[in-house]
Amino acid sequence: MSAKSVSDLAGAVQVYLRGRGHRSPGRSALKCLLETVYLASLKTEEGSPLQMRLVLVDPENPDPDPPSRPRASRWSIIPLSARIPLTVPNLIKLSRAADPWSSSLAVFYKQDGIFFIWGLVDQTVHFNTMLVRETTSGYAPPGLFQVVATGTADLTVYREYRFVGRLAQDTLVTSQNDVFELGPIRERLFDGIERYWDAVLRRIRALQPVDGDDVAYLGDRWVGTLCRLLISIQRYRHGGALLIGTSRSGLDVKYAIDYGRLSAALTNLGVATIVRARTADHISDVYLDKDKNSLPVDLYLDEAMAQDDADDLEQEITGCVRFISSLSCVDGAILATPELRIRGFGVEILTKKDAEAVYLSLKPNVHPKSVRAVDPNHYGMRHRSMMRYCFWHPRSLGFVVSQDGEIRAMTRVEDRLVMWENLQVHWLWESRRSRVQSGGRSGAAPTG
């Protein structure tokens, strides 16, 4: 595979924009912009790589399609008193005032293709918390697209809620592996999802009649929680591993614990979500749609209390995710059951026999044309030990997070160990735009 460069990323952005009917600055101008960000990302601040987020926004028309009733958390753009040329030194200096978790730099270009910085975007934190699945709603950033530098020579381009492309050193990626929706990884996870559904159904049936359709959509929440765990481990930049299985064979669990709070909170949240939704539907069908003049107080309180319970449980889950991910800072893997019950951390894998065959899959499903053999020795000790374990324990599922932030999944498929990288863990997908536009809340992503 040939090495890729900023020029290749610029070409990918150009193809994406034009393919969807958006006006593009042109490949040459895009290369100039991305090259500036790329070079700035090579610099460090007190030994740590600089991080930055830029949005391409026309200062003459910064908000072409504002919502009729924007919520208070929607972004605004604060213009600088004078435009500043977009150079590497200027970008390095201003990026320190624009933490990419909280804000963005607004940039644009003149007719001659020369770029400049003209403002700062606030309220970016809400989009970021949605990306990492800590909230389920948020406004898309302004502008044609955004460029994010999260590490040395590591650039990612997004368009609203969609992934456009990523250049990591000399590797270009223009699509992500959605292994959580289909393929062998999803099949391995289904046992945990099904147990979650069963737990919610048992609780709900004690309160009111239900069927499987009431909990089917909750599988997305369960998967989202697993993704949150991986993202939270990733943010430590320490490296880590999560092993999901039912056996301790071949493992030395240095610190054994039994932490079931996350799985319990997920079940409680599923119950509260269904109760609130059913109560809201009853109010709408029986009272609002029939234009009745009064609503029973008890019914109103039931809906309000269910919503309060759901909000509290969301906070509890956030605390659980942060607690579990911090365990990854101790050398060794985190051991979890399929229900995401934590059994230990600092886990050493004792399996010494190498996998007989290791393959990298470029697609969620495994097909001969989308897999290629890889040499395990090209990966670090953490990866190789997880490969050995997952190969010789076929029902297990392993996730490894590198110090550079790459997340990989692996499991045995028939007679070979298959690994996936470039996982879609953030809350981004192509169909998001139509869901946002039909969500009813002025351009904000619908809560789901």
Q: What is the pLDDT of residues 266-282, one digit of tens each?
A: 999 999 988 888 888 77
Stretch(es) of the chain classified as CATH 3.40.1700.10 = 184-420
Name residues whose C-beta falls within 8 Å of residue 182's C-beta, 6 or more positions apart in sequence: 364, 365
**Whole-number Å distance between alpha carbons of 431 and 70:** 22
Residue indicated by tokens 């669990």: 253
Distance of CA 318 to the CA centre of its chain: 14
| pLDDT score recorded for residue 21 | 94
pLDDT of residue 9 exceeding 80, the answer is: yes
Alpha helices (runs of H) in 5-79, residue ranges in sequence order: 6-19, 27-41
**Whole-number Å distance between alpha carbons of 278 and 281:** 5
- Which amino acid is residue 392, in one-letter code? W
Alpha helices (runs of H) in 26-154, residue ranges in sequence order: 27-41, 88-95, 124-131
| pLDDT score recorded for residue 204 | 84
Q: How many CB atoms lie within 10 A of CB 358?
A: 23
Query: What value does the mean pLDDT of the chain take?
Result: 89
pLDDT band for position 436 (cuts 50, 70, 90): very low
| pLDDT score recorded for residue 207 | 65
**pLDDT tens digits, residue range 64-93?**
999 999 999 999 999 999 999 999 999 999
pLDDT of residue 440 exceeding 50, the answer is: no
| pLDDT score recorded for residue 292 | 72
Distances in whole angstroms, Cα of residue 446 to Cα of each of 78, 141, 363, 443: 27, 16, 28, 9
- The answer for 120, left when phi > 0, alpha when psi is -120 to 50, beta otherwise, is beta
Of 412, 260, 402, residue with least CA distance to 338: 260
Residues 36, 86: contact at Cβ < 8 Å? yes
pLDDT of residue 2 exceeding 50, the answer is: yes
**pLDDT tens digits, residue range 147-178?**
999 889 999 999 998 999 999 999 999 989 99
| pLDDT score recorded for residue 187 | 95
pLDDT band for position 432 (cuts 50, 70, 90): very low
Classified by CATH at the fold level, domain 184-420 comes out as YojJ-like (1 (3.40.1700)
| pLDDT score recorded for residue 209 | 63
pLDDT of residue 264 exceeding 50, the answer is: yes
Q: Which two tokens stand for residue 412?
A: 């045995």
| pLDDT score recorded for residue 437 | 35
Helix (H, G, I), strand (E, B) or coil at 411: strand
Distance of CA 413 to the CA centre of its chain: 25
The DSSP call for residue 133 is: T
Distances in whole angstroms, Cα of residue 188 to Cα of each of 21, 228, 338: 39, 18, 9
pLDDT band for position 212 (cuts 50, 70, 90): low
Distances in whole angstroms, Cα of residue 229 to Cα of each of 203, 212, 301: 25, 27, 34
- Give the E-state strand segments of 271-384 in sequence order: 333-336, 342-349, 358-361, 371-373
**pLDDT tens digits, residue range 171-203?**
999 989 999 999 999 999 999 999 999 999 888
In degrees, rounded to 5, the angle at the alpha carbon of residue 58 between the alpha carbons of residues 52 and 59 is 95
pLDDT of residue 435 exceeding 60, the answer is: no
Distance of CA 195 to the CA centre of its chain: 24
Residue indicated by tokens 């979890």: 336
pLDDT band for position 302 (cuts 50, 70, 90): confident
Q: What is the DSSP string of 73-94?
A: T---EEEEEEEEE--HHHHHHH
- The answer for 277, left when phi > 0, alpha when psi is -120 to 50, beta otherwise, is alpha
**pLDDT tens digits, residue range 86-98?**
999 999 999 999 9
pLDDT of residue 400 exceeding 90, the answer is: yes
pLDDT of residue 446 exceeding 60, the answer is: no
| pLDDT score recorded for residue 123 | 95
Quick one: average pLDDT of 207-230? 81
| pLDDT score recorded for residue 433 | 39
Residues 438, 429: contact at Cβ < 8 Å? no
| pLDDT score recorded for residue 305 | 87
Quick one: average pLDDT of 219-241? 93
| pLDDT score recorded for residue 438 | 34
pLDDT of residue 442 exceeding 70, the answer is: no
| pLDDT score recorded for residue 135 | 84
